[in-house]
């Protein structure tokens, strides 16, 4: 039955889209500045629900009650955020901290040796370990929310990670039983297709659930395969994490709330460049920007996956990625500012 999950998701897309539009429930286009440049249509934010249902249906044999409760809690927090019931970014952050720490503490899921001596010594203290993995997952959750500004960008990025998990498992035999992961990826591809068409969005609920699912999965894979460089895991997650950290620094300098959304992220600047430079339609520029960013990360992951045990190589690739991000960011920001000043 699990093999039919992608078809089940396809049918659910049509059903939920019809119902959510009919009852005007959980729709995008709220009037927020960072959303208006994408679309003027009311688009259902059902991607997260579809991802959640796919995961539960496919992996139901291996789920614990604690994990299910955590996934439901983080999903509902995303829904409340999308509905503006928890409009304050600071309140969302507090809820994320509480929910995430409780999960790691009750589940006993910790981070094993990282190869970073100081961190490993501190991680020997259970409380610090739980706090550290909670901190890392919260960065990933909010970073994923930040990159969810264009069609297919966030979902496509996590599909890339799943692809390379499957690839390195094929090459290095890290774990057994990847059939469920292939079916899950197929379901995500169905959602991605309609996301690229702007028929559905994943919303905060979708970006939250993706970050949690892949974040926890990578922790478990690493714990069971300590020979893998910890920096390879960091590299797989570099983009959303660095997007968040860079945005926080940028907003701090501008004296605005670090967690509030805006339209000055790198993907926004690339989108703006295509719109103004080549006069592309919104949907074309939107999807093209996502594909370019995803293509860069695909090449990056491909190079990194050749030797997943080499920490020096992984560190070098992370630094190169950060350097290129900063160079392109400030070039495009300068270009945008120059264009605005001409007007």
What pLDDT, in 10s, does the model give residues 284-319? 999 999 999 999 999 999 999 999 999 999 999 999
Radius of gyration of the chain, Cα coordinates, nearest whole angstrom: 20
What pLDDT, in 10s, does the model give residues 130-176? 999 999 999 999 999 999 999 999 999 999 999 999 999 888 877 76
The whole-number pLDDT of residue 34 equals 47
What DSSP string runs through 280-325? --HHHHHHHHHHHHHHHHHHHHHHHTT-TT-HHHHHHHHHHHHHHH
The whole-number pLDDT of residue 177 equals 66
- Which residues of the chain are under the pLDDT cut of 50? 30-31, 33-34, 36
Separation between Cα atoms, residue 71 and residue 161, nearest integer Å? 20
The whole-number pLDDT of residue 215 equals 97
pTM for the model stands at 0.95
């Amino acid at each position: 039955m699990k093999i039919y999950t992608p078809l089940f998701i396809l049918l659910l897309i049509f059903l939920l889209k019809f119902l959510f539009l009919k009852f005007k429930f959980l729709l995008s286009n709220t009037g927020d500045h960072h959303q208006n440049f994408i679309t003027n249509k009311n688009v259902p934010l059902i991607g997260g629900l579809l991802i959640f249902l796919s995961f539960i249906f496919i992996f139901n044999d291996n789920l614990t009650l604690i994990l299910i409760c955590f996934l439901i809690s983080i999903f509902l927090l995303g829904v409340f955020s999308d509905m503006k019931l928890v409009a304050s970014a600071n309140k969302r952050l507090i809820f994320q901290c509480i929910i995430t720490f409780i999960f790691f503490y009750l589940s006993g899921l910790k981070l094993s040796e990282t190869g970073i001596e100081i961190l490993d010594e501190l991680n020997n203290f259970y409380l610090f370990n739980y706090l550290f993995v909670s901190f890392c997952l919260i960065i990933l959750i909010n970073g994923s929310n930040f990159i969810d500004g264009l069609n297919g960008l966030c979902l496509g990025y996590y599909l890339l990670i799943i692809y390379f998990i499957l690839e390195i498992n094929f090459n290095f035999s890290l774990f057994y039983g990847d059939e469920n992961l292939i079916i899950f990826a197929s379901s995500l591809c169905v959602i991605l297709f309609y996301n690229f068409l702007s028929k559905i969005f994943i919303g905060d609920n979708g970006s939250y659930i993706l970050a949690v699912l892949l974040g926890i999965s990578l922790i478990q894979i690493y714990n069971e395969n300590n020979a893998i460089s910890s920096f390879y895991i960091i590299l797989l997650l570099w983009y959303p994490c660095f997007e968040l950290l860079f945005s926080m620094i940028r907003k701090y300098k501008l004296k605005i709330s670090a967690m509030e959304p805006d339209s000055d992220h790198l993907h926004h600047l690339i989108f703006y460049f295509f719109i103004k430079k080549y006069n592309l339609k919104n949907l074309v520029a939107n999807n093209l920007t996502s594909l370019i960013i995803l293509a860069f990360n695909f090449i990056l992951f491909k190079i990194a996956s050749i030797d997943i045990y080499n920490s020096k190589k992984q560190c070098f690739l992370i630094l190169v990625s950060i350097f290129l991000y900063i160079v392109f960011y400030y070039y495009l920001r300068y270009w945008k500012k120059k264009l605005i000043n001409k007007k």
